[in-house]
Amino acid sequence: MLKYLRKINDVSITGNMAKWYDKNSRENRRAEFAGYAKEIACLVKPGEGSGGGKPHILEVAPGPGYVSIELAKLGNYHITGMDISADFVEICKANANREKVAVDFVQGNVSAMPFNGESFDALFCSAAFKNFHNPSGALEEMYRVLKPGGQGLIIDMNKNTTTAVRKGEVHKMQVHGFERWFMLFAFGTFLRNGAYTKEGFEALLASSRFSNWNVEEQGISLYVHLYK
Residue 8 has pLDDT above 60, yes or no: no
* Angle (CA) 135 141 146, round 5°: 130
Predicted confidence (pLDDT) per residue in 99-119, tens digit = 999 999 999 999 999 999 999
Residue 193 is predicted with a pLDDT of 72
99 CB-contact burial (10 Å; exposed 0-12 / middle 13-18 / buried 19+): middle
What domain range includes position 18?
2-227
Task: Kindly write down the DSSP assignment for every residue of 173-217, as one continuous string.
Answer: HT--HHHHHHHHHHHHTHHHHHSBPHHHHHHHHHTSS--EEEEEE
pLDDT band at residue 190 under the 50/70/90 scheme: low
Instruction: Assign 187 a pLDDT band (cuts: 50, 70, 90).
Output: low
Average pLDDT over residues 37-52: 75
Helix/strand/coil for 154: strand
pLDDT per residue over 143-177, tens digit each?
999 999 999 999 998 988 766 666 566 556 665 66
Domain CATH for 131: 3.40.50.150
What is the total count of domains within the chain?
Answer: 1
The residue among 218 and 53 whose pLDDT is bigger is 218
Q: What is the reported pTM?
A: 0.85
pLDDT number for residue 14? 85
Task: Give me the mean pLDDT over the 68-73 stretch.
Answer: 97
Provide the 10 A C-beta neighbour count for residue 69: 26
Least confident interval from 11-15, 40-44, 69-73, 85-89: 11-15
